[in-house]
Amino acid sequence: MARSGREPTIRDIAKAAGVSVSTVSHVLNEYGDISEDTEQRVREVMKELNYHPSALARRLVRKRSYILQLLLFSVEGLRHPFFYEVICGISAETEKAGYDLVLSIKDVRDKKWRDSLKRCYESRSEGIFVMGTLPGPEVPEEIESSQIPALFIDIPFESARATYVTSDNVGGAMTATRHLISLGHTCIGLINGHVTSPISNQRLLGYKQTLEMHGIPFDSGLVRPGDFTEEGGREVTARLLKDYPNMTAVFAGSDLMAIGAMKAIREAGLRVPDHIAVIGFDDIEFASYVRPALSTVKQEGEVMGKKAARELLKLIRYPDRKPCKQVLSTELVIRESCGGCKVCHEGGGVEVVSGV
């Protein structure tokens, strides 16, 4: 046993378990060549002696950093609930796999994003996650040239060492627009995110295709960028109400923008959904708490984060493996903000339409 007053060493573990130091080392480094009974005995002794292996030593032995970088381009940063959900999913999986996750948040307008990539290279990060609205196409191009395995979230980019995970944004937008049309709306405003954002373009496509399918002319004036922020949604909706007094519904490309839209509608002396129906996208936790409760298109942020992490870890472990993109399904969650709610319990009814 280790002498009182000092930390136990692998020699202490070996002596107490009745095995060689080499055997303990093989157990710690998970070589897989030690019998199950011996490994269990070694780990029991480690627990009894309160032995915690040095992460630094493990990295030196394996010549690996066990560091992953997450680069988030967003004005809102972690204040955006959906990004927070995705990061929770990523963190859960990477921690389970023994990796440290380094988070770097950049404003979309920040031109110093290369500094974050430089730190990523210097720390010998084994992989990188990228999410948010990119400042330009050179970001994925530079990551690709580095040969570091990369996973893009809601950014459709693929290469020999990179892929992406996203939701069915076109299908989700089509379902939201179709729901509003089914309630009798034909003048529907679209509050989109950023004009350069791939997911914004996909949701715009779904909106346009659905209007066309129902014989409703597309009016580009009804489409405005809201920057994925609550304030952006409020400002855009206020302008839409002035420019289109006949507008009866708003589809917002995020729940935060939808909540901002509801504020603008109230400030204009109108009511949701009596005068203007509102539907969002994301299904953040707060969507069910606002009044009226927000109808929205649900995408699983935490699930997206977990799937992204699992795919990146596979790219790291199996360098010759072909990257696999993943497109996750969405659901239409009907609450109160569009009217026509079929199930209304006290505190806000909800009807979920699956298989979008």
What residues does CATH 1.10.260.40 cover in the chain? 10-62
Q: What is the pLDDT of residue 89?
A: 96
Rounded Cα gap, residues 199 and 170, in angstroms: 8
Strand partners for 190: 223, 251
Q: Tell the CATH topology of 169-299+332-353.
A: Rossmann fold (3.40.50)
pLDDT of res. 219: 97
Strands 100-106 and 67-73: parallel
Under the banding of pLDDT at 50, 70 and 90, the label for residue 59 is: low
Average the pLDDT over each of 103-107, 237-241, 328-332 and give the range with the smallest value: 103-107
Instruction: Give residue 105's pLDDT.
Output: 83
- Least confident piece of the model among 130-134, 190-194, 328-332: 130-134
Instruction: Give me the chain's average pLDDT, please.
Output: 87
The predicted model gives 198-212 an average pLDDT of: 97
User: Worst-scoring range by mean pLDDT, 33-37, 149-153, 199-203, 263-267?
Assistant: 33-37
Higher pLDDT, 339 or 75: 339
Q: Backbone phi, then psi, for 296, in 5-degree steps?
A: -160, 170
**pLDDT on residue 354:** 41
Task: For the beta carbon of residue 33, count every other beta carbon within 10 angstroms.
Answer: 9
Cα–Cα distance measured from residue 326 to residue 307, given in angstroms and rounded to the nearest whole number: 8
- pLDDT of 342 above 70: no
CB 325, CB 155: distance < 8 Å: no
Stretch 63-77: mean pLDDT: 81
Question: How many Cβ atoms sit within 10 Å of the Cβ of residue 250?
Answer: 31
What is the pLDDT, as a whole number, of residue 56? 52
What percent of the chain is modeled with pLDDT above 70? Answer: 88
Range in 31-40, 184-193, 301-310 the model is least confident about? 31-40
The CATH code belonging to domain 10-62 is 1.10.260.40
Residue 187 is predicted with a pLDDT of: 97
> In the predicted model, what is the mean pLDDT of residues 19-30?
83
**In CATH, what is the architecture of 67-167+301-328?**
3-Layer(aba) Sandwich (3.40)
Give the CA radius of gyration of the chain: 25
| Per-residue model confidence as pLDDT tens digits over 272-301 | 999 999 999 999 999 999 999 999 999 999
For the residues 72-91, what does the mean pLDDT come to? Answer: 86
Residue ranges matching CATH 3.40.50.2300 in the chain: 67-167+301-328, 169-299+332-353
pLDDT of res. 180 = 97
| Structure confidence at residue 57 (pLDDT) | 55
What is the sign, positive or negative, of the torsion defined by CA atoms of 70, 76, 82, 84? positive
> Sorting pLDDT into bands at 50, 70 and 90, what band is 351?
very low
Looking at residue 30, what is its pLDDT?
Answer: 67
pLDDT at 344: 31
Cβ-contact 233, 191 below 8 angstroms? yes
- Spatial CB neighbours of 113, under 8 Å, sequence gap ≥ 6: 71, 73, 106, 135, 139
Rounded mean pLDDT, 164-190 = 97
Q: How confident is the model at residue 32 (pLDDT cuts 50, 70, 90)?
A: confident
pLDDT digits (tens, 9 = 90+) for 106-128: 776 666 777 777 777 777 889 99
- Asked if residue 232 has pLDDT above 70, the reply is yes
Q: Which pLDDT score, from 0 to 100, does residue 307 have?
A: 97
Of 193, 207, 212, 209, the residue nearest 255 (C-alpha)? 193
What is the reported pLDDT for 108? 64
